[in-house]
Amino acid sequence: MGSVVLSDMAIVAPFKGLMYNFKALGNPSNLVAPPYDVISEEEQDAFYRAHPNNVIRLILGKRKTGDSDWDNRYTRSADCFKRWETEDVFIHSDFPSLYVTSHTFDPNDGAEPKTRFGLIALVRIEDEGSGVILPHEKTFSAHKDDRLKLMRACNAQFSQIFSLYEDPDNRVLDSMREVIKGQPLVSFEFNDGSHHALWTVPHRPLFKRVADALFDKRIFIADGHHRYETARNYRNSMRARYGTRPPNRSYEFVMMYLTSMDDEGLVVLPSHRLIKRCDTFSSGPFFEKIRKWFDIEEFHFSKGQGKTAVASFKRTLAEGGRSRSTMGFFHQGGDTFSMLSLKPEKRDEMGDDLHPSLKQLDVLVLSRFLLQKTLGFTLEDLNNEEIFHYESSLTKAVGMVDSQTYQMAFLLNPTRIEQVKEVAGNRLIMPRKSTYFYPKVITGLVFNKINPYEIIQVP
């Protein structure tokens, strides 16, 4: 192995992972958690109670009254991290490795359980616009500031960036088939019913095979846009302090969970839009105005029909979405679902500022015609979490309107993976919450501690 050569290709490397001492600490399900940004306050409390060493104390520490610059959730995470290292809560790997995971889950659509395979490795951080690692969603400063404070305090990456690569021939996973036939290092059921397993791959010949297979691939960020940009910002600050030579110092890399776009377990869910309150809404004028853009079909709904009506409408919505931009609408006091199908000749009215690939997205059809032109929301409003809520379950979204928690819901089909590839490939950005890759990647299986003097050996 030699030092890395700067390139416009993806540079993937093994690393000396830091892992929980699972044998000593008991059931791994009590130690891991979902990514920080999907954990509610109630779930945060539950993970705190699950185990004194649960990863929640690292990724999402609690705020306290009287927090200061020298005592806050980030400094407490760093203290925990250092203490757990000295107390043998963690085990340091002596050898660079790749890490293969399987995640078996219920897709919640009545189908059989699915299994998604992922490869955890280090990937060299690219500058914006490089064309190697491609984002597809907008990010926000507050989230990046939060994650940067944590990374600077701990000098570690606790959660992998969930990323995708194109591999129709399955070269990457096939190269490791023999390894994952054996007994996994970790295997457990999580509290959501999903099953997780992890294998370590310390074999040098495989490093080269995997690196070569991914070298000419574009990598698409599925989930973790804020954390990826944070890793780049952290890298830049470390460069200012320690320099840019050699170019394969540890802070030049970020830990990623890589899965093939062709993996049978890759699932994209919709992000339905729920609106807390819109004072300009009145059902009569609303439907009258949107008829110039949409064909409207009504489906009767009553509480007595319950889940049957919702399931039927979900199927109808999916069928409609195969040929046209189609979405559902449900509002308080209504006794129907409305299916809104964009008239094909109206797509150009979305605006000359949009690239053709963006005009194909249902989330932007919704945004331009319904949220902005009809209901009068501004771009600032669309990013206001006090107004908008996102829900991947159509049944739950309808229930939250029916219970009058929200005033209305726009019900969407999932963004297709081909659309993600096209938008990202054109260096464009989708609105926030355009995709929901399911399930999320679990946090706590392996960590990457950053030593600024460590040189990452690239195959």
Beta strands 161-165; 98-105: pairing state: unpaired
Does residue 224 share a domain with residue 76?
Answer: yes
For 95-108, write each residue's pLDDT tens digit: 999 999 999 999 87
Mean pLDDT of all residues in 342-367: 95
Q: Tell me the two tokens of residue 187.
A: 């295997």
143 and 245 part of one domain:
yes
AA identity, residue 114 = K
Element (H, E) at 152: helix 141-154
Pair (189, 69) in one structural domain: yes
CA–CA dist 108, 127 (Å, integer): 38
Contact yes or no for 434/136 (Cβ under 8 A): yes
**Residue 242 sits in the same domain as residue 279:** no
Tell me how far apart the alpha carbons of residues 360 and 364 are, in angstroms, rounded to a whole number: 8
Residue 46 domain boundaries: 12-267+439-449
Retrieve residue 293's tokens: 């853009």
If asked whether residues 287 and 308 sit together in one domain, one would say yes
Residue 423 falls within a domain, yes or no? no
What pLDDT sits at residue 3? 41
Instruction: Extract the runs of DSSP E, i.e. beta strands, from 343-398.
Output: 388-391
Task: With CA atoms as reference, report the closest residue to 227 among 418, 96, 36, 437.
Answer: 36
Same domain, 116 and 194: yes
Rg (CA), the chain: 23
**Three-class DSSP category at 77:** helix
Instruction: Report yes or no on 422 lying in a domain.
Output: no
1 pLDDT band, cuts 50/70/90, is: very low
The answer to whether residue 49 is domain-embedded is yes
Q: Is the pLDDT of residue 278 over 90?
A: yes
Domain count, the chain: 2
Angstrom distance (rounded) from CA 17 to CA 312: 47
> Phi/psi of residue 14, each to 5°?
-75, 170
Q: How confident is the model at residue 385 (pLDDT cuts 50, 70, 90)?
A: confident
Q: What is the mean pLDDT of the chain?
A: 92
In a domain, 419, yes or no: no
pLDDT of residue 303: 64
Average the pLDDT over 168-191 and give the result: 89
Flag whether 107 is in a domain.
Answer: yes
251 and 302 together in one domain: no
Tens digit of pLDDT for each residue in 387-417?
Answer: 999 999 999 999 999 999 999 999 999 999 9
Assigned domain for 47 exists: yes
Are 443 and 34 contacting, i.e. CB atoms less than 8 angstroms apart? yes
Alpha helices in 181-259 (DSSP H): 204-215, 225-242
147/135 Cα distance (integer angstroms) = 17
Confidence (pLDDT) at 305: 65
Residues 225 and 106 in one domain: yes
Task: Tell whether the model's pLDDT for residue 5 goes beyond 60.
Answer: no
In a domain, 181, yes or no: yes
Does residue 45 share a domain with residue 166?
A: yes
Same domain, 43 and 140: yes
pLDDT of residue 129: 80
Q: Quickly state the pLDDT bin for 109 (edges 50, 70, 90).
A: low
10-21 tens-digit pLDDT: 999 999 999 999
Q: Are residues 253 and 275 in the same domain?
A: no
Tokens 């990323």 -> residue:
163
Are residues 287 and 263 part of one domain? Answer: no
